[in-house]
Amino acid sequence: MPFNIAVLGAQWGDEGKGKIVDMLAPHVSAVARYQGGHNAGHTVYVQGRKFVLHLIPSGILHPGVTCVIGNGVVVDPEALFREVDELGRMGVAVDGRLRISEKAHVILPYHRELDVLSEARRGERKIGTTSRGIGPAYEDKIGRRGIRICDVLGDGDALAEAVRENVNARNRIIRESTLDWKPVYDDLVAFGERIRPWAADVSLLLAQMMHEGKSVMFEGAQATLLDIDHGTYPFVTSSNASVGGICTGLGVPPRAIGGVLGVAKAYTTRVGEGPLPTELDGPLADRLREGGQEYGASTGRPRRCGWFDAVVVRYSARINGLDALALTKLDVLDGLPEVPICTGYRVGGRTVTDFPADLRLLARAEPVYETMPGWTTPTKGVTRMEQLPPAARRYIERLEAASGVECALVSTGSDRAETIVRPGSVVARWFP
């Protein structure tokens, strides 16, 4: 079996997974997305050019790499074609390199409307979704009335029946307006024609590739703390962003996953609602937000910012079996007089070091900080550990000890080249 790795988010998303996947992509033959939809926003800079990927795996910028969208992903046809066309305009040929699971579910035009409505009905308790219809598409999947790519490509009568049933379900929820099923059906048929060459049994395709000795990288979207089961429920995404999603979302066996790399920022951010124990406000939050350009790639929303939370990353390490971390955005901390690391929470007179499930507990959790001295020499663009200021090295060491995972990669800027690969680390051993 070739060596296949997973790259996934260890915090609340936006950790810079796109950059890390793109950087490691030359070592693999395929990059496969296993969950989520076009709510993801992976920004990759290559020689000053900016590429924002939502649905298409971040391996697409490497011509020899096959990009796979698994059955665990929900596909919005319009968003998919927009992204393919945009990449085409930027000189990246997608055709012939993209494969989409015929079992993937389709996001229907009114899923977006349902998303907005559901958030409005929650009022104060809104989740802070991207309103792209992702959640409602997963609801239809679990409700067993979803429409899959193979349905779109199959028998017209069966598709018409499925669309009628799905539109009826929508009409029962949104009573203010009645939708006609026929235009939805016609659009789906047109979509099918364009997607047909890309549709595949991706489980079979990946099995064949592995059989031929070709390695695959599994790319996570969102992150562990947004996982529907292991995240801060209900302020989560609708899919399994953690490692378990790979098996169900692509049809690959657990043994196919040889290594797991967690991507974590050198601080913490989250977009949308829900708990964030180390959240800062005031000038320090602004400093991190501006320094790290913490605005959503998909929605432009400002991200909430806080110090590195080792309780969170240790939890992610356990859930995913992380072999190592790729620590990103170290450069954003340049110039701060001190950099605290959260090593536990004080809750009701007790110190907790395991991430709690109960959000009421989490809401009362007060971070316990270990404050490390900052550094003034810039780390931006540094490519070797020994070029880092000693205080930055000590910060990384303390963060590793508190999280229980080694930092195999340290990212010091948004470009591929601005990365430290630690000699002797697992990543250096995986990809000599």
Q: Which residues are catalytic?
A: 14, 42
3 binds ligand GDP (CB under 6 A): no
Cβ of residue 113: shortest distance to ligand GDP, in angstroms?
Answer: 26
274 binds ligand GDP (CB under 6 A): no
Binding ligand GDP (rule: CB under 6 A), the pick from 17, 103, 105, 230 is: 17
192 binds ligand GDP (CB under 6 A): no
111 binds ligand GDP (CB under 6 A): no
Question: Strand, coil or helix: what is 382?
Answer: coil
238 binds ligand GDP (CB under 6 A): no
Binding ligand GDP (rule: CB under 6 A), the pick from 31, 32, 34, 41 is: 41
Residues between 318 and 357 that touch ligand GDP (CB under 6 A): 328-329, 331-332
Cβ of residue 49: shortest distance to ligand GDP, in angstroms?
Answer: 12
Q: How many of the other CB atoms lie within 10 Å of CB of 23?
A: 22
Task: Number of helices (H) and strands (E) in the chain: give both, helices first.
Answer: 14, 20
Report the alpha-carbon angle 256-35-225, nearest 5. 95
128 vs 154, which CB is nearer to ligand GDP?
128
Name the burial class of residue 140, with classes exposed (0-12), middle (13-18) and buried (19+) by CB atoms within 10 angstroms of its CB.
buried
129 HSE (CA, 13 A, CB side): 29
CA dihedral of residues 382, 384, 390, 393 (deg, nearest 10): 100
Binding ligand GDP (rule: CB under 6 A), the pick from 11, 19, 270, 280 is: 19
Phi, psi dihedral angles at 98 (to 5 degrees): -105, 135
309 binds ligand GDP (CB under 6 A): no
DSSP single-letter state for residue 370:
E
Binding ligand GDP (rule: CB under 6 A), the pick from 2, 3, 45, 116 is: 45
278 binds ligand GDP (CB under 6 A): no
Amino acid residing at 400? E
Strands 30-33 and 5-9, bridge-based pairing: unpaired
Cβ of residue 414: shortest distance to ligand GDP, in angstroms?
Answer: 3
Those residues with Cβ within 8 angstroms of residue 246's Cβ, 6 or more apart along the chain or in another chain: 6, 34, 218, 252, 257
Q: Are 360 and 369 in contact (CB under 8 A)?
A: no
Those residues with Cβ within 8 angstroms of residue 340's Cβ, 6 or more apart along the chain or in another chain: 307, 308, 369, 370, 371, 372
Task: Report the alpha-carbon distance of residue 222 to residue 321 in Å, rounded.
Answer: 17
57 binds ligand GDP (CB under 6 A): no
Q: Are 294 and 377 in contact (CB under 8 A)?
A: no
Strand-pair partners of 308: 341
237 binds ligand GDP (CB under 6 A): no
Tokens 């590739």 identify what position? 209
301 vs 360, which CB is nearer to ligand GDP?
301
Selected range binding ligand GDP among 35-43, 96-104, 136-144, 240-248, rule: CB under 6 A: 35-43
414 binds ligand GDP (CB under 6 A): yes
170 binds ligand GDP (CB under 6 A): no
Selected range binding ligand GDP among 39-47, 61-69, 80-88, 151-159, rule: CB under 6 A: 39-47
Q: Are 276 and 12 in contact (CB under 8 A)?
A: yes
Cβ of residue 25: shortest distance to ligand GDP, in angstroms?
Answer: 13
Task: Report the alpha-carbon distance of residue 58 to residue 24 in Å, rounded.
Answer: 10
114 vs 226, which CB is nearer to ligand GDP?
226
Selected range binding ligand GDP among 10-18, 195-203, 208-216, 333-341, rule: CB under 6 A: 10-18
41 vs 340, which CB is nearer to ligand GDP?
41
Question: Strand, coil or helix: what is 408?
Answer: strand
Binding ligand GDP (rule: CB under 6 A), the pick from 7, 10, 18, 314 is: 18
15 binds ligand GDP (CB under 6 A): yes
Cβ of residue 45: shortest distance to ligand GDP, in angstroms?
Answer: 5
Binding stretches for ligand GDP (CB under 6 A)? 9, 14-19, 41-43, 45, 297, 328-329, 331-332, 411-414
